[in-house]
Structure 1
Amino acid sequence: MKRMGLFMIAVCAAAGVLFAVYSFYSTDQAIYVAVDGSDRNEGTLERPFQTIAKASAEAEAGTTVYIREGTYKEPLVVQHSGTEHKPITFQAYEEEEVILDGENLNAADGNLALVVLEGKNDINIEGLTFKNVTTGIMDETVMGIFITGSSSHITVKNNTVQGIKTWHKEGNGHGIAVYGTDSMKDINIIDNIVEDLKLGTSESIVLNGDIDGFAVDGNTIQYSDNIGIDLIGYEGVANNPAADYVRNGTVQNNTVHHVSSFTNPAYDGEYSAAAIYVDGGKDILIKKNELYENDIGIEATSEHAGKYAENIQMTDNLISNNFYTGIAIGGYDEERGGTRNTLMMNNTLYHNDMKDLDGGQLLLQYNVHDNEIKENKFTAGPSRIFIANFFRENRDNYLGENMYYREQDKKGIWIWKDEEYNSFSAFKKASGSDETSQYVDAEK
């Protein structure tokens, strides 16, 4: 830690305020933490602090906190903000293995989290492992990383989050949770591993509320019992109801697999967990993700009546061997909202509906209109259903240039406005699918 001044304490008696100025730092300040350090040390590489709490209290704009290898049984509570050109960074030192273990966490306001970042800006968290946050209490929400308030310009990168578990049937847990209670911008969840989670009715990675501008890119989410990536609106999270939805972001280059609610006691054996779920979000690009052996590959709708997932682009995704369906749009019943102005283009949907649940490769549900479905490749699973549409509210949707691949002698099935078609020509006529769409033998 580079010191450029002496420790000072100044008292402003008239205002009754105590100011503690510990040091003046250079622009590129470094603080070090090690399990065998001491909080009476200077926080240098040779004389590191012992606790992350001490380092967080000392870190100011432009500081990098380097954490040495070992297990720390304490949370990281971010206490100060960085600035646009001088963020505060918490990271593992030279890729050493650093574990924050939640075994001894105490609940605060009903939350148990290993990282708490509330109302702070320009913060980076990199290269750390967060694990073992568990509860059996319904009213405690367990989380690996919790970002809330008006926090902006946040990057969470190259971390591992594992073993976050609620054992209560009606409990809640998150691997990484971002809740925009006030305006948030520039939220980046990049190249993390999120795994081995028991989430109750919640999600592995979630962005919820007033978030305008985000990237969820390059992450691996695996072996969890509820939704992989969730982008939510209209749940009353934001203080400004008009801005209570996630928008203007990307979800790309993620791998999500073995995400299923089947064993989750909150869902009574349902296969309802999506790898990527847009629930009321807007203006979102979902691109080049690999999604396999989940319940649903991608789902986009709103769970709130009169609200929509809209302007969602799903392009170039590889979606295979999911249990219920590959892509689902629209509300799951007539009490929900819907999906509009959404593009599904150049996706490969292969052998989804593996549990023969009539979800097909593409599931169109309630209140689906003004969407484009084009240039996709469909290969049916055991149900032989390519497109399943059991609601009649479907309108003004364009289908064009799609390829439907038959395998061996298995006849394909299309369900359109609750009518089943075994003939591709009859389906095209009923759906208004253009003449460039084809039904051909699968490539060998």
Structure 2
Amino acid sequence: MQKSQIYRLLRLGCVLCIGLLISCSQPSAEAATNTYYVSPTGKDSQKGTITSPWKTLQHAADTVPAGSTVYLREGVYKQQLAITRSGSASKGNITFTPYSSEKAVLDGTGQAVDGLQGMIDIQNASYITIKGLEIRNYTTTHADEVPTGISIQGAGSHIQITGNKIHDIKSTVSLSGNHATGRDAHGIAVYGNKAPESLHDITIDHNELYNLVLGSSESLVVNGNVEKFTISHNRLHDNDNIGIDVIGYEGIAPNVKYDVARQGVIKGNTIYNISSNRNPFYGKKIPNNSNSAGAIYVDGGKDTVIEQNKVYNNDIGIEIASEHAGKSTDNITVRSNIIFSNRLTGIAMGGYDTERGSTINSHIMNNTLYKNDTLNRGNGQLYVQYDTRNNVIKNNIMVAGASNVLIYNEYTKNSGNIIDYNLYDAPDGSAEATWIWKNKEYAGFPDYRKRSGNDAHSLFANPKLIDPAKQNFHVQQSSPAIHQGIADPSIVGTLDIDGQLRKSHSPITIGADQ
């Protein structure tokens, strides 16, 4: 090779190296397109940059690729958003979130409702994040329209709904006869209405849902073919029907085999002032005294853990039941929850009448139930209803309210249930405390324990809670609850109400506080 050729190759190599250095020191074109902006004052004909933002959320959803973040600049967006395009595992989620500390509001005033429709509607999409938005004022006066703050439907996965504020979503359908039929709304709704493809790996975390007018529906619902979901650290309050609901067998999925929400975790939520008493769906008279709304309700769901929640001033604290004859709520674990001052009862299980389904193979462990049954109707702290089978109820603190009733079970269809290692207390002492078991009433703890066959290792004593009046349900160092429980497999290695690891061997402390 001649020297002139060698020099030309060397010069070419230097140019290439310099070019590579320059290109590596600057962001790539692909990286530069991963961030987009929307503003109420923007234009969809612009580039979607911070200086030339788009105007509509829908244009952004129809345009951006996987791995993109769409920042909403401050303002009120009287827009709906339908998301049908997905992010991906390799490139990341498509995220909609406010820019920096700015406040972005989706306002539904005047927006149309078509069936079950969300202000944000995610349909058959995956790898989506909705974060930090306020969604409000989505309402209807028409039957069979279901306004929803955020709706997730179809099949899909890896969807995160986090840090949003959802309020004033309402159905105000006029009364027809004694009830308002077709009167429904949701704050957040997850409907798995395909099969066998499911909605899975859904996270709903740190949202606030309040001032919702729901009719026969729920504040936050997971229904049909939904699996592996987490509902955590949300705050729900002042809504006129159920708080969190996990549902099966309502015909949402086209195949009954898949028509059940399952493998979920409901953890660390705070839920209060949930009541149906001002809900016209339950009767014209306001208040109607229906007391039907649970803070957390599992209706036909299965394989779900409910833990570390704080629920109070609701109609019902936690209910695990099935409204559908021949169908069961199966393998639900209710553990380390604090449940107090709820009107009807603390925990309810089983069908509410003989036309309903059953609760089976479930565990109610290490909860603190304090002075529920505030209506003084005698439903007690634990309300055992129709058809309960092979359930375990252990290590719970139960302090009765004015009725002195601790457990109420009027149905005799009740088999294989194990109740033991609990700590009971009542205002008028052991002799006046009452248990109803298989429709037999027992007055006094010794009589109940001897004749019912329950609670052989349980105690009746003041649990010495630190300060219930100030919602401090930790136990004092001198509490008889300490080291008196049993390390059932459903509680070993789990966390107490404060996130402290429970001992892996007996004895453990009774109640929600380790």
Could you tell me the TM-score, scaled by structure 1's length?
Answer: 0.92
How far apart are 1:79 and its partner, in Å?
3.2
Partner of residue 89, structure 1: 95
Deviation per CA, 1:185-204: give whole Å up to 9, x if none.
10111110000011000000
Identify the match of residue 143 of structure 1 among 140, 148, 155: 148
Larger Rg: 2
Q: Secondary structure at the match of 1:266?
A: helix
Partner of residue 347, structure 2: 327
Q: Secondary structure at the match of 1:153?
A: strand
Partner of residue 316, structure 1: 336
8 Å contact from structure 2 (residues 274, 295) kept in 1: yes
Identify the match of residue 154 of structure 1 among 151, 159, 166: 159
Which runs of 5 or more residues in structure 2 are unaligned? 1-28, 174-179, 466-514
Is 1:115 the counterpart of 2:120? The answer is yes
Identify the match of residue 435 of structure 1 among 443, 456, 468: 456
Partner of residue 101, structure 1: 107
Specify the code of the residue in structure 2 equivalent to 1:234: Y
Identify the match of residue 245 of structure 2 among 230, 255, 271: 230
Deviation per CA, 1:27-76: give whole Å up to 9, x if none.
87011011121112100011111111111111221111011111000011
Identify the match of residue 35 of structure 1 among 26, 35, 40: 40
Identify the match of residue 442 of structure 2 among 418, 421, 426: 421
Specify the code of the residue in structure 2 equivalent to 1:81: S
Q: Distance in 2 between matches of 1:217 and 1:362?
A: 24
8 Å contact from structure 1 (residues 95, 127) kept in 2: no
Q: Higher mean Cα deviation, 228-237 or 410-419?
A: 410-419
Is 1:264 the counterpart of 2:264? The answer is no
Identify the match of residue 172 of structure 1 among 184, 197, 207: 184
Specify the code of the residue in structure 1 equivalent to 2:191: Y
Specify the code of the residue in structure 1 equivalent to 2:108: G
Q: Secondary structure at the match of 1:58?
A: coil
Size of the alignment, in residue pairs?
420
Q: Distance in 2 between matches of 1:359 and 1:267?
A: 20
How far apart are 1:306 and its partner, in Å?
1.0
Partner of residue 393, structure 2: 373
Specify the code of the residue in structure 1 equivalent to 2:441: E
Q: Higher mean Cα deviation, 328-337 or 264-273?
A: 264-273
Q: Distance in 2 between matches of 1:222 and 1:341?
A: 30
Partner of residue 132, structure 2: 127
Alpha carbons of structure 1 residues 343 and 28: separation in structure 2 relative to 1, 3 Å:
farther
Specify the code of the residue in structure 2 equivalent to 1:103: T
Q: Secondary structure at the match of 1:306?
A: coil
How far apart are 1:382 and its partner, in Å?
2.1
Q: Secondary structure at the match of 2:156?
A: coil
Partner of residue 10, structure 1: none
Specify the code of the residue in structure 2 equivalent to 1:246: A
8 Å contact from structure 1 (residues 143, 176) kept in 2: yes
Structure with greater strand percent: 1
Q: Secondary structure at the match of 1:95?
A: coil
Partner of residue 303, structure 2: 283
Q: Distance in 1 between matches of 2:394 and 2:360?
A: 15
Identify the match of residue 388 of structure 1 among 408, 415, 419: 408
Q: Distance in 1 between matches of 2:137 and 2:103?
A: 16
Could you tell me the TM-score, scaled by structure 2's length?
Answer: 0.80
Is 1:398 the counterpart of 2:398? The answer is no
Is 1:76 the counterpart of 2:81? The answer is yes
Q: Distance in 2 between matches of 1:246 and 1:34?
A: 38
Q: Distance in 1 between matches of 2:166 and 2:407?
A: 36
Partner of residue 7, structure 1: none
8 Å contact from structure 1 (residues 284, 312) kept in 2: yes
Q: Secondary structure at the match of 1:197?
A: coil
How far apart are 1:138 and its partner, in Å?
1.3
Is 1:63 the counterpart of 2:68? The answer is yes
8 Å contact from structure 2 (residues 336, 366) kept in 1: yes
8 Å contact from structure 2 (residues 149, 186) kept in 1: yes
Q: Higher mean Cα deviation, 174-183 or 424-433?
A: 424-433
Q: Secondary structure at the match of 1:215?
A: strand
Is 1:26 the counterpart of 2:31? The answer is yes
Identify the match of residue 185 of structure 1 among 186, 191, 200: 200
How far apart are 1:383 and its partner, in Å?
1.7
Is 1:46 the counterpart of 2:51? The answer is yes
8 Å contact from structure 1 (residues 225, 259) kept in 2: yes
Q: Distance in 2 between matches of 1:124 and 1:441?
A: 47
Specify the code of the residue in structure 2 equivalent to 1:265: P
Is 1:245 the counterpart of 2:260? The answer is yes
Deviation per CA, 1:286-315: give whole Å up to 9, x if none.
000000000001101111111111110000
Q: Distance in 2 between matches of 1:180 and 1:398?
A: 34
Is 1:200 the counterpart of 2:215? The answer is yes
Alpha carbons of structure 1 residues 38 and 27: separation in structure 2 relative to 1, 3 Å:
closer
Q: Distance in 2 between matches of 1:247 and 1:362?
A: 24
Q: Distance in 1 between matches of 2:463 and 2:368?
A: 13
8 Å contact from structure 1 (residues 112, 133) kept in 2: no
How far apart are 1:367 and its partner, in Å?
0.4
How far apart are 1:405 and its partner, in Å?
1.4
Q: How is 1:329-368 mapped onto 2 (pairs within 5 angstroms)?
A: 329-368=349-388
**% identity of equivalent residues:** 42
Alpha carbons of structure 1 residues 339 and 177: separation in structure 2 relative to 1, 3 Å:
same
8 Å contact from structure 1 (residues 407, 442) kept in 2: no
Q: Higher mean Cα deviation, 110-119 or 212-221?
A: 110-119
How far apart are 1:369 and its partner, in Å?
1.0
